[in-house]
Amino acid sequence: MKDYQEVAKGWIEGNFDPETKCKVIELRNSDPVAFEDAFYRNLEFGTGGLRGIMGVGTNRMNKYTVGMATQGLANYIKAHVDGPQSVCISYDSRNNSKLFAKISAEVLSNNGIHVYLFDNIRPTPELSYSIRSKGATAGIMITASHNPKEYNGYKVFWSDGGQITAPVDKDIVAEVGKISDPSEVRFEEGDEIGGIELMGKEMDEMYLRDILSLTLTPEAVAKHPDIKIVYTPLHGCGVRLVPEALHRLGFKNVIHVPDQDISDGDFPTVVSPNPEEPAAMKMALDKADETGADIVMATDPDADRLGIAVRNDEGKMVQLNGNQTASMLTYYILTRWKELGKLDSTKYCVKTIVTTELIAAICESFGVKCYNVLTGFKYIAEVVKSHEKDGEFICGGEESYGFNVGQFVRDKCAQVSCAMVAECAAWAAEQGLTLYQLLQKIYREYGLYLEKMVYIVRKGKTGAEEIAQIMTDYRTTPPVEIAGRKVVKVIDYLEPEKTGLPKSNVLQFFNEDGDVVSVRPSGTEPKIKFYFGAHGSDAPEKIELLKKQFVG
């Protein structure tokens, strides 16, 4: 790429609006390091879309980078899709999400593509659902999921309702890469007008109706409607539908955290709106102690991820991680499917390679196939798509707090997950158990599985180089032992001919006890992630050994 100062000069002198030009000059004069980072490269349109810090520059989320991405998507659709062409668009509560959604809608419409645009913030899973409902060609979700407030993003979905995968993803990436200047983007109305149609309450009703049709034990809910549930959307769009779903299911004590019901892209009550972070759930946990609640639920800004906390035997609230929640829900759902006579050889579950092996053990005990896929819910959706004619997806999850049930939505869905957690609590109560006690019962049956994810943050250009070097070092000199036991297997997912999965920058190390360490750079954040998994009565000690060995 050209020298970043030359690129920035093009923004100052080129066909950009006056406000943008002023901000470029201000950034150049006030923060040289941020100025370089904003222009040293183009913000990568990856196989899932865009995600980055908001601001001026080629390496930032702004109306020009969003417009260029949308023009590339429009060019792909027009070149490869025959017949009617339409795109569904939704957005969350982040700063500029509504603006980026509006720009995307206008660019598509100006290219002659019909747009279905939500009239207000809506969850990512409802966007997935709407694509299938409308028979749309594609979908766009403006969100940076659980990232800090400085970020926004642009996720692209395809006609099946799942995020784009090969070969469509790489072909769209190539089309976006051909757009080299904002002058190539149809920001203004042209001869072809596709029209923009708003979606709202009618789609909400259809979505809620279908996901609530997946419930399995309404009789248990009817007997335990007073289970106390604290729910927080963490300033995101879950507030629109999660409480309503729980009420319609039959739960009467849904307790709000009023300050966090406010949809606000500054996320004023949390450092990061991520239910994986204990600090993000503090206000909800305080509310639970204040009200004597049984369960805490927290969803991220686009309401696709769910974090929960439950009371232990001493009455203290403890947070479950994504592996524990997914394992518990899988156990509950498979138990009920078996009791209802719904299991046969065509039914299956899916998990990702860095998600607990407990899910695979549970599936095996029920005689249910469990597919293992790369990290990212789009790969779970890809399995569902490939088995539409010869199988039925029961449920699937990933360690990063994503879970889904049924085939209405082709992404992780916090709305249906909240409903299933609450229903599972009622089912457990029928057996005289709390959710915490149900989890202990599962461990007694299958053995103790413990997992821990630890990440290292390395920001900016030098950080990206450091993360790349860490992966190179592990490939050239892999560890000979982990947790004090000999490494017996190394899997490099850059070698698809050996894994049978698409190429991915992930390494896994297995020792002779079956403990595992997975290492992968984040595709959406300046992080390298380490996933530790241990099985057996000494799992807690082994997790600590793995943490010390890999991250110090």
Task: List pLDDT tens digits, range 3-26.
Answer: 999 999 999 999 899 999 999 999
Radius of gyration for the alpha carbons in the chain, expressed in angstroms and rounded: 23
- Domain 449-551 adopts which CATH fold? TATA-Binding Protein (3.30.310)
Q: What are the catalytic residues? A: 145
At residue 189 the predicted structure's pLDDT band, cuts being 50, 70 and 90, is: confident
Q: What is the pLDDT of residues 479-492, one digit of tens each?
A: 999 999 999 999 99
Omega cis (within 30) before 167: yes
**22 vs 465: CA distance, rounded Å:** 31
41-199 and 207-446 share one CATH topology?
Answer: yes
- Please say whether the structural domain 41-199 has been given the CATH code 3.40.120.10: yes
Those residues with Cβ within 8 angstroms of residue 220's Cβ, 6 or more apart along the chain or in another chain: 423, 426, 427, 429, 430
pLDDT in tens, 259-312: 999 999 999 999 999 999 999 999 999 999 999 999 999 999 999 999 999 999
pLDDT for residue 496 is more than 60: yes
* CA-to-CA dists, residue 381 to 52, 384, 391, 531, 536, angstroms: 24, 5, 13, 22, 32
Q: What share of the chain is helix, strand, coil (3-state, %, to 5)?
A: 45, 20, 35
Q: Reply yes or no on whether the pLDDT at 1 is more than 70.
A: no
> Structure pTM?
0.93
CATH of 207-446, one of 3.40.50.620, 3.40.120.10, 1.10.10.10, 3.40.190.10: 3.40.120.10
Each domain of the chain, given as residue ranges in start order, spans: 41-199, 207-446, 449-551
Size of the chain in residues: 552
Mean pLDDT of the chain: 95
